Every structure is written in structure tokens, then in C-alpha cells.
């Protein structure tokens, strides 16, 4: 119960050959037991489609069906959802991917060969157009504001109390 001054030394003395033999089975069984499937939605674009059975069918705490009914309905839900998803993707995935490939190919082509050259052309012409626009406004609009300023400057407002 008091202050102990002795140090406890613990050591395991093992022969080097025995140590090497004991490690070999660990290193030889280093294969992966579980391989994770690749994440097909790495940017989490479709979190609203991650629907589980509990999200669709939920029983309140006060009422519960029989456990076998719950398990059976859960299994049916998952089986039908899995089956219809596989069926619809089998029928629609390739045609939809083909159509979307055409659409995005056309959009990319139009963007690269039409939209960006027009924008770059306007950006090159903009300084010249800006100088011409400023000159036109100085010639046409500035005298109006200057004369209106002179006309309105002669107006005096006096406050009177009744």
C-alpha cells in the first residue's frame, strides 16, 4: 500500500529460429478476406435514392405486426426493389447512356467551337466598343445633364412655417 521502490522487469526470451518460424504463418495468410465493392456514387449525387425498408414502411411503437409478417414484408420489399432495378437498368441503361452521350457530346462541341469563340471575340472587341460608347455618351448625353444641372441650379427652396 505504500510507495513501492522496486521495478518489475518482464522479458520474453525466445530463440531466433523459433521467432522466425512463428511469424511465417502470419505473413503467408496475409490475403484480403473482404473486398469492398467500388463506390459507384463517390460524389454523393443521389442521396435521396438510398431508400431502405424502414424509410417506406414503418410501424409506430404502439402497434406491431407479427415478426414473421415484418420479416416477410421486408424480404419481399428488398427482393422486388432489387429485381425491378436490375430489370429496368438492363432495359434502359444502354439506350439512356447512348442518348446522354450524344446530348453531352453535342453540348461540348457547341460550347468549344461556337460559344467560347464568340465570347473571346466579344472580349477582344469590348475595349474598342467601350471607347466608342463612352465617346457617344459624352457627345449626346453629357450636354443634356450639364444644361439640366444649370437649369435646376437656379431653383431655390425655402421652408416656411404656417
Where do the structural domains in the chain lie, given as residue ranges? 3-154
* pTM confidence score: 0.44
For the chain, give the percent of residues with pLDDT over 90: 24
Residue 77 burial (CB count, 10 A): 15
Distances (CA, A) of 122 to 77, 130, 135: 58, 11, 19
Per-residue b/e over 54-63, b at no fewer than 16 CB within 10 Å? eeeeeeeeee
100-144 pLDDT, tens digit per residue, is 999 999 999 999 999 999 988 888 888 888 888 888 888 888 777
Which of these, 56, 37, 40, lies nearest to 89 by C-alpha position?
40
The predicted pLDDT at position 61 comes to 76
For the chain, give the percent of residues with pLDDT over 70: 78
Given a cut of 80, is residue 30 above it in pLDDT? no
- Quote the cell numbers at residue 162: 404656417
Amino acid at each position: 500500500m505504500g510507495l513501492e521502490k522496486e521495478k518489475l522487469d518482464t522479458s520474453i526470451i525466445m530463440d531466433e529460429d523459433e521467432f522466425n518460424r512463428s511469424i511465417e504463418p502470419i505473413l503467408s495468410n496475409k490475403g484480403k478476406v473482404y473486398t469492398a465493392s467500388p463506390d459507384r456514387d463517390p460524389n454523393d449525387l443521389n442521396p435521396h435514392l438510398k431508400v431502405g425498408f424502414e424509410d417506406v414502411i414503418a410501424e409506430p411503437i404502439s402497434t406491431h405486426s407479427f415478426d414473421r409478417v415484418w420479416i416477410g414484408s421486408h424480404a419481399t420489399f428488398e427482393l422486388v426493389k432489387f429485381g425491378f432495378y436490375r430489370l429496368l437498368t438492363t432495359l434502359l441503361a444502354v439506350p439512356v447512356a447512348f442518348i446522354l452521350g450524344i446530348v453531352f457530346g453535342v453540348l461540348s462541341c457547341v460550347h468549344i467551337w461556337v460559344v467560347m469563340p464568340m465570347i473571346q471575340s466579344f472580349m477582344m472587341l469590348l475595349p474598342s466598343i467601350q471607347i466608342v460608347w463612352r465617346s457617344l455618351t459624352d457627345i449626346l448625353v453629357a450636354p443634356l445633364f450639364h444644361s439640366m444641372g444649370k437649369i435646376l441650379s437656379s431653383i431655390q427652396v425655402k421652408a416656411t412655417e404656417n
